[in-house]
Amino acid sequence: MNFADELVQWYLNNKRDLPWRNTTDAYVIWLSEIILQQTRVEQGRPYFHRFLDKYPTVSEFAVADEDDILKLWQGLGYYSRGRNMLKTAREVVELYNGAFPQQYNNLIKLKGIGEYTASAIASFSANEAKAVVDGNVYRVLARYFGINEPINSNKGKKDFQAIANEILNHNHPGLHNQAMMEFGAMLCKPKNPACGICPVNTGCFAFKHNATAALPVKLKTVKVRERFFNYFLIINNEEILLKKRDEKDIWANMYDLPMIETNQLISLNSIVVMPETIAYFGNAIDIQDVSPVYKHILTHQRLYVRFITIQPQVLKIQQNWFFTGVKNIEKFALPKIVFIFIKNIFNL
């Protein structure tokens, strides 16, 4: 039995019972694949059920408001995925009359669907012979075959895809892809892989050469940007001042609080005399409370966030600011760090 067949046999005996594996509905598979990008199964599963319960068909998804999608997505991060999902659903309704496509060549043209997702949907829904290469598959291939080419280099991506295509079981591509991905997720894990019980360890380069920690290789190209957010919490007659964010930055089109960003962590005294602060809130600001500085990690950014509760002398409402009842907060899509702070403050 060869490498790929061994993994399929292992999968049939050890696979997790996941709801999106019990269907060939391309819409349901698409939901699961997008939600699980950059997300662990344990975290993503509740979101999958919420979306499918609220939008059981792509046509129902397509007529949703973006605010509703972002609210359901709240806490998953990478919010552009949620926004792109709405665009994808609307394209499917417009181009395919609400019948979610199953063929790779049609899927790859849709907004927010790349090579990996198109291959996954096509192979799982229609058994199309497309090899899936995600983070789990990169890891399994790199370790088993001893590939030192960085997985995030152009050459590496081509090399890994070529190997994945070569070993693909063309008779059962969906099963093969599921086996490869599950094997990487459950057994050939990033840290502490279960090499001792691995069914293919005798042929594994990394196991033979004690190189599991060194493979796969990845270029370190990400530069982390540090940002400092000073949020202002303003309450008036059981209403809270919110701000709708624009489309040009993180958390696009979501809601948070009025905020002044600084290029470093500065004192409160320095913040209250900033021209921007004075223009918004006047010269005499009553600072009622200040939170600790919270660190919030994003993929390419490290945020330092604090919340300043104030009673302003004057209040110049900006175009994207508005008051809403504290009890309405649950209706808005807020960044997780802001949402948790407000919930804790008001015991929601």
User: Which of the residues are catalytic?
Assistant: 33
Alpha carbon 267 to its chain centroid, in Å, reads: 34
Of 154, 156, 157, 177, the C-alpha closest to 167 is: 177
Tokens representing 130 are 């497309």
Q: Write the single-letter amino acid at 83.
A: R
Alpha carbon 208 to its chain centroid, in Å, reads: 35
Asked if 316 and 337 touch (Cβ cutoff 8 Å), the reply is no
Asked if 245 and 251 touch (Cβ cutoff 8 Å), the reply is yes
Q: Write the single-letter amino acid at 54.
A: K
> Using CA atoms, how far apart are residues 30 and 87, in angstroms rounded to an integer?
13
> Using CA atoms, how far apart are residues 37 and 134, in angstroms rounded to an integer?
9
Total residue count of the chain as it appears in this document: 348
Backbone phi, psi, residue 57, to 5°: -130, 160
> Using CA atoms, how far apart are residues 122 and 105, in angstroms rounded to an integer?
9
Inter-axis angle of helices 115-126 and 173-186, nearest 10: 120
Asked if 309 and 233 touch (Cβ cutoff 8 Å), the reply is yes
- 56 C-beta neighbours (distance < 10 Å), count: 12
Distances (CA, A) of 220 to 60, 171, 300, 302: 41, 38, 12, 17
